[in-house]
Structure 1
Amino acid sequence: MRSVGVEEELLLVDTDTGEPLAVAGAVLAAADRAAGGADEENGKEAGHTFEAELKEEQVEFATKPVTEMGELRDEIVRWRAEAARHAAVAGAAVAAVATSPLAVRPSMSPGRRYAWVARQFGMTAQEQLTCGCHVHVSVDSDEEGVGVLDRIRPWLPVLTAISANSPFWQGEDTLYGSYRSRVWNRLPSAGPVDVFGSADRYHAEVRAMVDSGVLRDRGMLWFDARLSASYPTVEIRVADVCLDASTPVLLAALVRGLVETAARAWQAGEPPARVSTGLLRLASWQAGRSGLDGPLLHPHTLRETSPEEALEALYGHVADALADSGDEELVRAGIARLLEHGNGARVQRDLLRSQGDLASVVRHCARRTIADAHGDLPGR
């Protein structure tokens, strides 16, 4: 069974006002101290998984690669709780929201690479306080990985819709479900890409883009999906960080299903759908605009359809792979729950209506971020 790992970026916020706090350095220092103490106590390396991100108002963690979704859920719950514990040392809380609902002028993280980003991308970099969720799925080779990338393209906007969790920007309702996706796509290499056809062509494109001088290194290839530069995986990057810990587990199961389905098609010599990148950009925009509360473009026809029909098409596409991995019940239940109760974007808007102010929305989201998800997986 293919292994799966998840990276999550969390917003650091004031526990009272809900405003973002530039305390990532203090949070990472607290994590370092805690890991050092664990090392001494256990007599072995303990470590932690937290890293800095582009802005000092956020922190990132990565789960270990696992094959069971219950174990992935436990990893996400664990590291969210650890992030909250270390943030508390710095007088902050963590919130799994993909943009700050409250107005903020974010601070660039220190370091030579981030300074280069600030100079190169100007205001686009300055405004880029967004929190995503990246899913890694193992592949056997770069050739298989590119075969997968070529075949999952039409399905990725549905994942954006599922994860949409960024309706507010600088204190205003954007009318988008995932405004993060729109802010992120201002970067020059972000978004959907053409069919590559082979690993050689993929790597040639990567080299050409880096050699252009617009990008500093291959880590700035911010495609919707790419071969990981560090692991033998494909990395799907279209999702907002999700409010509830159960939703990235659902995403991971669906992404593994997409990867396995695409790999089987590649192995069988089935060609990828020749959908233009222009149409995929429209589908991506529509998914960011609607989330699960408006029309999407159907992955097969690229015509307007309901969220229910788009999700049903996705489930049908990966059904065999889900059955083989034992994830079909989890995915069915997760889709039903989202359609009934809504994703993070709907929850945030409902909270604003009930609570009356965005600070209360952030405080509620911070509490919900570290709520245990044990009851959300069938069979537990």
Structure 2
Amino acid sequence: MVDKAAPHQNSAETPTLGVEEEFHLCDPHTGRPSLRNTDVAAAADALGLTVQLELSRCQIETSTSIGTHIRDLRDQLCESRAVTADAAARTGCQLLAVGTPFYDPPPDSITTTPRYQQMAEQFGALTTGVMCGCHVHVGVEDRERAVQVINHLRPWLPTLLALTANSPISAGVDTGYASWRHILFGRWPSSGPPPYFESANDYDAAVATMLETAVILDPHMVYWYVRISDHLPTIEIRISDVPATVEETMTFATLVHALVTTAMKAISRGESAPIVDQELLHAACWRAARDGLSGRGLDVNRKRLVPARHLIRQLLAHTASTLAELGELEQVTTSLASVLDHGNGAIVQRRTLACRGKVADVIDESARRTFEGCDPQADPIRNWRPRSRKSPPGITSARH
């Protein structure tokens, strides 16, 4: 595991990388949301892990340190999931890596911090939707370059969403969407794919307009699917549901890292990002949320529907040379093949519901997959050992 007190230094060739994961807390007997995130946070702290509270009291967030080595993440992600699951169990909760809860929380579920209470007062029922995502931070210190990297990432956002879709069931029924989280998230006035920006000044002007018009309370509420972090020298990719397994999170984070690195190379060569129409990009994201990996996606370059798997292969081809340089091409290729063969979170949830017929069975399977590969006794190959786990001053919660 990485020494969290001394994160790796950035380099021109390899940007830094860090990951945040949001999880749902449920009652292990009923499957209903458990509003005990403060208790779970206290239990995790006693176990040596600092976690963050989220907007709903049935949510908790973990974060890694920031490093340059992708493989350093695996032990941190495994340990964070394992320790947080342990903390949840000690407080009578169950930890689930799912994009939305299987049942809606009660009306009084907002975390009682001043900021979250202010959000509830300002935005009303929007704040009752529970959404658990995965946010990847990649180091880009120069803001002008960061804006150009965001432009290069825009066309790939729908494909990343399809890959990680993990929230088909809500209120006890199949919603018809692979990522119901994405649909809920889209209700916020500051969410969506970012516009194509010519400069950092253009980006800042758009944020200033949202602040002036009270669309957002503060810069933390810029909910674009990729944005410049307002407290770290990073860009933050926020399109993903929290993946069902650590392996899927690793694959997602590695692809994002490769996409950013590939974009930075293109910018150094003087290549401009393709200008994708904003409405077309919105439509592609909606289609990715609807079909996930099991149907079709919108190819924003050719403006036509194609099998979602085809878009995943395009993403792999686009990043292959960078992945090879990072030493990750074989691992990512193998992981993507496994996901395409066996399904991502949304596909597994639906398959479990179809085979077993009960949401309770889907919850049990989701809980198992949340911890899959994170138990050193069940998986001696990984063989990580708990250490001092106090979180570093690297990634702190990006806050809703």
TM-score category, normalised to shorter length: over 0.9
Aligned partners of 1:186 and 1:197: how far apart in 2? 26
Partner of residue 116, structure 2: 114
Aligned partners of 1:60 and 1:164: how far apart in 2? 18
User: Aligned AA for 1:61?
Assistant: T
Please state whether the residue corresponding to 1:270 is helix, strand or coil: coil
Instruction: For 1:138-287, list aligned pairs within 5 A.
Output: 138-287=139-288
Report deviation, 1:58: 0.8
Aligned partners of 2:120 and 2:227: how far apart in 1? 23
Aligned partners of 1:182 and 1:276: how far apart in 2? 20
Report deviation, 1:292: 0.3
1:4 matched to 2:17? The reply is yes
Please state whether the residue corresponding to 2:271 is helix, strand or coil: coil
Report deviation, 1:307: 1.6
Q: 4+ residue runs of structure 1 moved beyond 6 angstroms?
A: none
Report deviation, 1:302: 3.0
Report deviation, 1:92: 0.6
Partner of residue 74, structure 2: 73
1:124 matched to 2:126? The reply is yes
User: Aligned AA for 2:256?
Assistant: V
Q: Deviations over 1:79-112 (max 9, x none)?
A: 0011111111210110101111234335000111
Report deviation, 1:140: 3.1
Report deviation, 1:187: 0.3
User: Aligned AA for 1:335?
Assistant: L
Q: Deviations over 1:293-324 (max 9, x none)?
A: 10001243231011221011111111221111
User: Aligned AA for 1:258?
Assistant: L
Report deviation, 1:33: 3.0
1:92 matched to 2:105? The reply is no
Aligned length in residues = 365
Aligned partners of 1:267 and 1:299: how far apart in 2? 24
1:13 matched to 2:6? The reply is no
Partner of residue 369, structure 1: 370
Partner of residue 347, structure 2: 346
1:25 matched to 2:38? The reply is yes
Contact 2:21 2:62 in 1 (8 A): yes
Report deviation, 1:3: 1.8
Report deviation, 1:350: 1.1
Aligned partners of 1:342 and 1:372: how far apart in 2? 17
Aligned partners of 1:67 and 1:362: how far apart in 2? 35
Q: Which runs of 5+ in 1 are unaligned?
A: 36-47
Contact 2:164 2:248 in 1 (8 A): yes
Report deviation, 1:290: 0.4
Aligned partners of 1:100 and 1:203: how far apart in 2? 34
Q: Which has the larger share of helix?
A: 1
TM-score between the two structures when normalised by the length of structure 1: 0.92
**Structural RMSD (CA):** 1.8
Aligned partners of 2:101 and 2:125: how far apart in 1? 17
TM-score between the two structures when normalised by the length of structure 2: 0.88
Aligned partners of 2:17 and 2:304: how far apart in 1? 31
- How many percent identity over aligned positions? 39
Contact 1:102 1:358 in 2 (8 A): no
Contact 1:104 1:170 in 2 (8 A): no
Contact 2:99 2:131 in 1 (8 A): yes
Report deviation, 1:360: 1.9
Aligned partners of 1:323 and 1:287: how far apart in 2? 27
1:137 matched to 2:150? The reply is no
Contact 1:7 1:134 in 2 (8 A): yes
User: Aligned AA for 1:119?
Assistant: E
- Which stretch of the first structure deviates more once superposed, 252-261 or 316-325? 316-325
- Which stretch of the first structure deviates more once superposed, 334-343 or 268-277? 268-277
Please state whether the residue corresponding to 1:69 is helix, strand or coil: coil
Aligned partners of 1:89 and 1:49: how far apart in 2? 16
Aligned partners of 2:237 and 2:214: how far apart in 1? 25
Partner of residue 318, structure 1: 319
Partner of residue 288, structure 1: 289
Q: Which runs of 5+ in 2 are unaligned?
A: 1-13, 383-400
Q: Deviations over 1:183-224 (max 9, x none)?
A: 001000000121111112211221221122221100000001
